Amino acid sequence: MQSRVIPLPIVAIVGRPNVGKSTLFNRIVGRRTAIVEDRARTTRDRIYGEADWNGRRFIVVDTGGLEIHPGDPIEEKVQEQARLAIGEADLIVLVVDSITGLTPADLEAADLLRTAKAPVLVAANKSDNDKRELEAAEFYQLGWEETYAISAAHGRGVADLLDAIVWALPPESEQEIARKRRAAEADEWAKDMAAGRLSQILDGDDAAVELAAEGGSDLPIEFDDEDESVSIALVGRPNVGKSSLLNALLGEDRAIVSDIPGTTRDAIDTHLTWGRSEVVIIDTAGIRRPGKVAGGQAAERYSTLRALKAVERADVAVLVIDAFEGLTSQDAHVAGFVSEEGRGLVIALNKWDIVAEKTGRTFDEYVDAMRREVPFLDFAPFVSISAKTGQRVSRVLELAVDVWGERRKRIPTPELNRVIRSAGLRQAPPTGKLGPPKIFYATQVAVAPPTFIFFARHASQIHFSYKRFLENQIRSEFGFDGTPIRLFFRERASGRSAQGEERGRARSGTSRPRAGSSGAVGKSGRPATGQAAVKGSVRKGTSGSKRSTSGQRKPRTG
């Protein structure tokens, strides 16, 4: 069951303000934006990123970016970060500053971090030269055997730190290994394609497209569908109504959640059936947890970090928003993460029952306003609900299951190319420095998220806005509602192989197959009817006290 959901380990960067946490974050995460989305603008201050070091993937969190009260005293900030990291991270990097030297805030953070089960690595940043590197020795006083003198700004020592991180992480899971294998296969295939070794599949001209359509040749990539369950993460700030929604989805307050003190790392998943779909709601313990741990801002930060973990394991994230309060920057962060991770996204505007003076336009106005605020949400469907009255709550599951199907949809290569070519006729890519780029053909190499490779001349010259245009064309033809899609552009010198030309000539004059999306089969057509039936299995920790149904929260202890 778990083979679909592949959590990556989380590395948290902790430390005082100005020690260089976000510089280190950026250096580790780098600019991994080969994808079409120009998210740089919206995620410039992003705090989550995926890293890959020697083939090992993990998530990096800049806990400094989670600060909500920038005015808090430094000690408090660092302690809060440390607590977050202790609760959720698989590895913690404590960053200190070689220029300023050891400070009381560093010592306090270190005291807290000593209680962490996860390994802690001390990085003495700003060790830009040999002299400072020597001076960094004073950080041994923090109590760890080894410290890493680095310069995040210049890159010095960062490779050694990354080696140490990868070494100290928990071992790679089977699923991580399988995912890597799939990615390698896709790469291999793309290389063959670029080298023209698979050029008989498609060559971008009418005749070849026809030929491929007739021959039905499709991708040699294996799409594995072994896991059919739809895993959903309910995310959102405290008090937006996640627990209420969960209960409403389960039909009543029979929450199957246990409260195991001190086991914040244990995720409890709830299984249910929805129509013919198996649905898993991920980390239902986390949904309830924030209220129990703390209230207010601290809970918010906590829930953000927890949500991140849940999203990593999910096919689809349902971002619950209080219709009254609207979208906050933390929501935008989580939504950005969902999109970067290629997960599906549904946005539920909860507490719709208390939105006053609704008219037929109210919902559209809300949606428009939010899309303006956070433009990268434009692929996600919205639904207005009331967890309290039960209004439209079943739509949430319905949409999530639909999005799940969209995320797994694959478009046959000939169909895709018909759309790409007619888009190209309507609007050719603007000429770059090297001359006019030309797209020869495209093909879908992966699902979940749907990933397309475009082979083109002057691929690097294709402007972002044109990529966006292509994405829109693909969406308007094939849907993909609620799922991010990825477009990669690879250089290919010529659009035609000799073989393609041969066949092209032989075929010229034949009638064209009809365009359309008839072959675009996904699983989005799953019937999604009926009341969700609770199966009631939980992954971990079935015992313990059940949450009181009054919605009251215990104050934080310890």
Exactly one of 244, 330, 413, 461 binds ligand GDP (CB under 6 A); that residue is: 244
Instruction: Output 284 or 461, the one with its CB closest to ligand GDP.
Output: 284
Three-state DSSP state, 344? strand
Exactly one of 213, 240, 267, 279 binds ligand GDP (CB under 6 A); that residue is: 240
Q: How far apart are CA 199 and CA 192, in angstroms?
A: 9
What is the nearest approach in angstroms of ligand GDP to the Cβ of residue 442?
A: 39
Exactly one of 119, 424, 432, 551 binds ligand GDP (CB under 6 A); that residue is: 551
Q: How far apart are CA 241 and CA 235, in angstroms?
A: 10
Exactly one of 231, 243, 284, 461 binds ligand GDP (CB under 6 A); that residue is: 243
Instruction: Output 50 or 353, the one with its CB closest to ligand GDP.
Output: 353
DSSP annotation of 435: B
Q: How far apart are CA 407 and CA 344, in angstroms?
A: 7
Question: x/- binding map, residues 386-425, to ligand GDP, per CB under 6 A?
Answer: xxx-------------------------------------
Q: Which residues have a Cβ under 8 Å from the Cβ of 406 and sit 6 or more positions away?
A: 344, 479, 480, 481, 482, 483, 522, 524
Instruction: Output 123 or 446, the one with its CB closest to ligand GDP.
Output: 123
DSSP annotation of 253: S
Instruction: Output 319 or 474, the one with its CB closest to ligand GDP.
Output: 319
Exactly one of 354, 369, 428, 533 binds ligand GDP (CB under 6 A); that residue is: 354
By the rule CB under 6 A, 351 interacts with ligand GDP: yes
* Angle at the Cα of 59 from the Cα atoms of 53 and 65, rounded to 5 degrees: 125
What is the nearest approach in angstroms of ligand GDP to the Cβ of residue 62?
A: 7
Question: x/- binding map, residues 122-141, to ligand GDP, per CB under 6 A?
Answer: ---xx-x-------------
Question: x/- binding map, residues 72-111, to ligand GDP, per CB under 6 A?
Answer: ----------------------------------------
Instruction: Output 388 or 395, the one with its CB closest to ligand GDP.
Output: 388
Exactly one of 7, 9, 49, 64 binds ligand GDP (CB under 6 A); that residue is: 64
Instruction: Output 303 or 444, the one with its CB closest to ligand GDP.
Output: 303
Exactly one of 2, 18, 273, 497 binds ligand GDP (CB under 6 A); that residue is: 18
By the rule CB under 6 A, 444 interacts with ligand GDP: no
Exactly one of 350, 417, 451, 483 binds ligand GDP (CB under 6 A); that residue is: 350
Q: How far apart are CA 89 and CA 265, in angstroms?
A: 9
What is the nearest approach in angstroms of ligand GDP to the Cβ of residue 323?
A: 8
- DSSP sequence for 163-225: HHHHHHSPPPPHHHHHHHHHHHHHHHHHHHHHTTTTTTS--SSHHHHHHHHHHT----SPPP-
Instruction: State both tokens at 12.
Output: 């948290």
Q: How far apart are CA 490 and CA 457, in angstroms?
A: 8
Beta bridge partners of 453: 443, 488
Instruction: Output 126 or 333, the one with its CB closest to ligand GDP.
Output: 126
By the rule CB under 6 A, 353 interacts with ligand GDP: yes
Instruction: Output 339 or 386, the one with its CB closest to ligand GDP.
Output: 386
What is the nearest approach in angstroms of ligand GDP to the Cβ of residue 381?
A: 19
Instruction: State both tokens at 290.
Output: 């924030």
What is the nearest approach in angstroms of ligand GDP to the Cβ of residue 135?
A: 13
Which residue bears the tokens 């291999």?
188
Helix ranges (H only) for 362-431 are 362-373, 393-407, 413-426
Q: How far apart are CA 250 and CA 534, in angstroms?
A: 6
Q: Tell me the C-alpha to C-alpha distance, in Å, between residue 42 and each of 6, 278, 338, 417.
A: 26, 34, 14, 31
With CB under 6 A as the contact rule, which of the stretches 72-80, 109-117, 239-247, 442-450 interacts with ligand GDP?
239-247
Q: Which of residues 174-193 bind ligand GDP (CB under 6 A)?
A: none
By the rule CB under 6 A, 229 interacts with ligand GDP: no
Q: How far apart are CA 114 and CA 140, in angstroms?
A: 14
Q: Which helix (H) or strand (E) holds 303?
A: helix 296-313
By the rule CB under 6 A, 20 interacts with ligand GDP: yes
Q: How far apart are CA 303 and CA 289, in angstroms?
A: 8
Cβ density class 445-454: b for 16+ within 10 Å, e for less: bbbbbbbbbb
Exactly one of 49, 87, 241, 412 binds ligand GDP (CB under 6 A); that residue is: 241
Residues contributing to the site for ligand GDP (CB under 6 A): 15, 17-23, 64, 125-126, 128, 151-154, 236, 238-244, 287, 291, 350-351, 353-354, 386-388, 551
